């Protein structure tokens, strides 16, 4: 069974930095796109950044120049380096990956359990 496990969330003051990690485990044949999304109470989950297996990235305008997504294909892990954090970045951050499991017929979307990031003024 494929699983995504996130780590690295926490509390930080405005202007600070945090690094999130998300490791995929299980019987994995291939991973397509990996990404980070975030959600605050009463709002829809929104895209933060994505990265393909070849390393092409995409990010929300609100985080451009502050957040950097990267991945280690050998470790099936995606990272989100968050710098110059703002109070409005406070949210639960979720990892998402499109994964082809071993002996599976096709790629399936998987989500992590979420990790809370709190940025105080």
How far apart, in whole angstroms, are the C-alpha atoms of residue 9 and residue 11?
Answer: 7
> How high is the pLDDT of residue 6?
95
How far apart, in whole angstroms, are the C-alpha atoms of residue 79 and residue 2?
Answer: 18
How far apart, in whole angstroms, are the C-alpha atoms of residue 32 and residue 49?
Answer: 14
> How high is the pLDDT of residue 39?
98
> How high is the pLDDT of residue 21?
98
**Token output for 59:** 């990010």
> How high is the pLDDT of residue 1?
87
Contact call for residues 78 and 59 (beta carbons, < 8 A): no
How far apart, in whole angstroms, are the C-alpha atoms of residue 20 and residue 67?
Answer: 11
pLDDT tens track, the chain, 121 positions: 899 999 999 999 999 999 999 999 999 999 999 999 999 999 999 999 999 999 999 999 999 999 999 999 999 999 999 999 999 999 999 999 999 999 989 999 999 999 999 999 9
Query: Percentages helix, strand, coil for the chain, rounded to the nearest 5?
Result: 5, 60, 35
């Amino acid at each position: 069974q494929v699983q995504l496990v996130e780590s690295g969330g926490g509390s930080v003051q405005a202007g600070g930095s945090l690094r999130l990690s998300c490791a995929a485990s299980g019987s994995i044949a291939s991973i397509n796109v990996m990404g980070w999304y975030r959600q605050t109470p009463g709002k829809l989950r929104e895209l933060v950044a994505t990265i393909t297996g070849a390393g092409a990235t995409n990010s929300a305008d609100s985080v451009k120049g502050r957040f950097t997504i990267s991945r280690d294909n050998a470790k099936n892990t995606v990272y989100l380096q968050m710098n110059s954090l703002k109070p409005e970045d406070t949210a639960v951050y979720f990892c998402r990956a499109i994964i082809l499991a071993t002996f599976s017929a096709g790629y399936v979307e998987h989500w992590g359990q979420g990790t809370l990031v709190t940025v105080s003024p």
